[in-house]
Amino acid sequence: MSTQTSGRLLVRAAGPGVTIQDAGRCGSLRFGVTPAGPMDERAFIAANQAVGAPRGAAAIEVSLGGVELVTSGETIGLAIAGGDFDIRLDGARLPCACALPLEPGASLTIRAGRSGSWCYVAVAGRIDLPPALGSLATHTRSGMGGLEGRGLRAGDALPLAGLAPPRGPLAIDAPWLAASGAPIRVLLGPQADYFTHEAIDEFLSARWRLSPRSDRMAYRLEGPRLSHAKGHDIVSDGVALGAIQVPGDGAPLVLMADRQPTGGYPKIANVIGADIGRLAQTRPGEEISFVAVSIEEAVAARRALAEAIAAGVRLRPQGGELSTELLLSANLIGGVADAYGSLEPE
C-alpha cells in the first residue's frame, strides 16, 4: 500500500468497550501476558481486506455502545464489518459491511443494530500509535496497548499515517460472516473426566443464555448447573481461546480474547477455532447450544474458513450497478480486482 499522507481520526462519542485491536500480542502467554486482539477475527480480517490493509493491522473494535467518528484535514478511507450494526454517514443509512470515504466535516455513527455484538472499523493506512510488546492490541485490565491502555472516549484523536486513496461507498460481501443459527461446535475436554456423564449430556443438550455479566475476558452462560465428578479445582494449566471452564457454581465460562493465561477450574470443552467469531457475536440474553465434534472435523472447519478468507472480500456498489469510478476505486495496489470488485489479498 503506497504511502501518501497522514491525518487524524477524531472520536466524537464512544460507548463502553470501544478499543483499538490488532491481531493480538502473540508469543507472550508464557510470561503471563494476555494476547487480547479481536473478539471476532473473521470480521476484523474482512474490514482490513476491504481497505487493502494487512490482515493483522490495527482497527477500532466497536461494541454495542457504539461510536461516532469524524475527521479533519484529510479524507480517510474506512471499512466496517462485523455484526448487523446500524451504520450511518451524516444520517444516511449504509450497509452493515461497507467501505467508504470519511470526508472532513462528515460524521460516521455506528450503533447497535439487529444482531451481533462487535464490528470493526479499519483504516486505509495505519493507526500511528506506539506498540506495547510489539502490538497495539488494547488490554484494559493491565492498561496495555492501544491508546493509553484504555477504551476510546469522546475527544480522543487517533493519529494516522500512510493514508491511501479511499474506496467507496461500497458494500462488502464476505460470505464467511453470514449469520448462522447452527450450534457452536466444541471439542470435549481436556478435563471432561472431571464431570459426570449426566453433566456432559446436559451441557450438550441444554439451551444456554448469554449472561449480561459477560465481557471480553469471558462469556458467562446461564442454564442448568453442571455437576463435577472430581471437584471443581485442578492444578492451574494453560488456557486456550474458547476454553469452557466450569467453576464451583456449575455455570460455564467461555474464555475469550482477554482471557487469563492460566486457570484452575476444569474445562469441559473448547470451542473450535472456526466458531469463536460466531460465539463472540452472541448478545447478552440470546441463546446458544453446543455440539461435540471430532478433531478431524474441527481441523476441516478451520481449513474451510481459512480458504474462504484467503479468497478475499467482494466490493460492490450499494445500488448494485458498476461504474468507471467504482472500477478505478477498486483497482488498487493492495489487491487484485475483477470487474465486480473481488479482492485477492497480497
pLDDT in tens, 262-299: 998 999 999 999 999 999 999 999 999 999 999 999 99
Distance CA 305, CA 176 (A): 7
- Neighbour count for residue 153 (Cβ, 10 Å): 14
User: Hey, CA dihedral for 125, 127, 131, 136, is it positive or negative?
Assistant: negative
Grid cell locating 43: 470480521
pLDDT at 343: 41
- Chain segment 97-112, per-residue pLDDT in tens: 999 999 999 999 999 9
- Residue 327's pLDDT band (boundaries 50, 70, 90)? very low
Q: H/E element holding 308? A: helix 295-310
pLDDT (mean) for 52-71:
96
Distance CA 98, CA 319 (A): 12
pLDDT (mean) for 231-253:
92
pLDDT at 273: 97
Domain coordinates of the chain in residue numbers? 5-174+313-345, 184-307
Instruction: Write down the pTM of the prediction.
Output: 0.89
Given a cut of 70, whether residue 135 has pLDDT beyond it is yes
Percent of the chain with pLDDT over 70: 91
Q: What is the CATH number of domain 184-307?
A: 2.40.100.10
- Residue 4's pLDDT band (boundaries 50, 70, 90)? low
Cα 174 from chain centroid (whole Å): 14
pLDDT (mean) for 316-324:
60
pLDDT at 332: 39
Q: CA dihedral defined by 112, 113, 117, 123, rounded to 10 degrees?
A: -80
CB under 8 Å to 319, separation ≥6 — which residues?
A: none
pLDDT at 3: 45
The arrangement of strands across the sheet holding 243-245 comes to 287-288, 208-210, 218-222, 253-255, 243-245, 267-271, 184-188, 290-292
- Chain segment 165-218, per-residue pLDDT in tens: 998 899 999 999 987 889 999 999 999 999 999 999 999 999 999 999 999 999
- Residue 231's pLDDT band (boundaries 50, 70, 90)? confident
pLDDT at 27: 87
pLDDT at 319: 58
